[in-house]
Amino acid sequence: MSRLNAPSPDGVPETTQGILDNIGAQFGFVPNMFMTLASNPTVLDVVMTLQGTLSRVLDAKTRHTIALAVSQANGCDYCLAVHTYVSSELGGMSSDDIDLARAGSSIDPQRAAVARFAQQVVASRGQVSDADLAAVRGAGYTDPQILAIVTVTVQILLTNFINNVNRTDIDIPAVSPAGLPG
C-alpha cells in the first residue's frame, strides 16, 4: 500500500488537472505515481518539465534503455512496471531488448554501452572510472551525449526514489524479476 497520500480525483488542485488530463490521454488512465505527485503541484511540474525537456536529448529507445537499466539497478518495482509498459507499448521495444536493458545490455551495441554506463553511474554514485567513460565513448557517444546520459539517469533516479519512498501501488502490469509480465 502506498505510504504517501494522493489527492482524490475531486481533490486535485485545479493547477494540475490539465497535466493529469494529458497524462491520462497518453496512458488511458492516470498512473498512481502522477496522482501522488499531484498532491504537490510544484513537484509534479518539476517532474513533468524535466521529463519533457529530457525527451529531446537522446532518442526514445536510448532513454527507455536507461530507464529500465536504472530502475533495475535501483530496485524500483513501480518504475520497472511503468518503463516496461511504456517501452513495449509506446516505445516499440521487444521483450528481449527490455530484458537486456534491465540487465545492463541491449540488442543494439550502442544502447548496450549506455545501459552499462547508466548502471555504473548508479552503482558508483557518479564516481565512474576512466574505463567506464572510455567504454561509452568507444561506443560512439560524445561528451555532450554523455552529459545527456547522466542527466537522464538522474531524472530516472528521482522518480525511482519517489516511488521507492512511497512504495507506490503498481497499477500497470507488474514485471517479474526475470522481466516477464507478472
Q: How far apart are CA 71 and CA 144, in angstroms?
A: 23
Q: How far apart are CA 146 and CA 52, in angstroms?
A: 19
- Residue 89 reports pLDDT greater than 90: no
| pLDDT the model gives residue 181 | 45
CA distances in angstroms from 99 to 19, 87, 136, 175, listed in the order given: 31, 11, 20, 10
Q: How far apart are CA 139 and CA 49, in angstroms?
A: 29
Task: Give the model's confidence band at 51: pLDDT under 50 very low, under 70 low, under 90 confident, else very high.
Answer: very high
Q: Which of 78, 67, 74 is nearest to 2 (CA)?
A: 78
CA distances in angstroms from 25 to 12, 21, 45, 106, 143, listed in the order given: 17, 6, 17, 30, 36
The partner residues of 181 in beta bridges, in order of sequence, read 175
141-166: average pLDDT: 97
| pLDDT the model gives residue 90 | 84
Cell of 109: 551495441
Where does 60-166 sit in CATH, by number? 1.20.1290.10
| pLDDT the model gives residue 172 | 87
- Write down the domain spans for the chain: 12-54, 60-166
Task: Give the model's confidence band at 177: pLDDT under 50 very low, under 70 low, under 90 confident, else very high.
Answer: low
88-106: average pLDDT: 92
**Sign of the alpha-carbon dihedral angle for 17, 20, 25, 30:** negative
By mean pLDDT, which of 44-53, 155-164, 173-182 is the weakest? Answer: 173-182
| pLDDT the model gives residue 27 | 86
Q: Is 177 helix (H, G, I), strand (E, B) or coil?
A: coil
Task: Give the model's confidence band at 174: pLDDT under 50 very low, under 70 low, under 90 confident, else very high.
Answer: low
| pLDDT the model gives residue 92 | 87
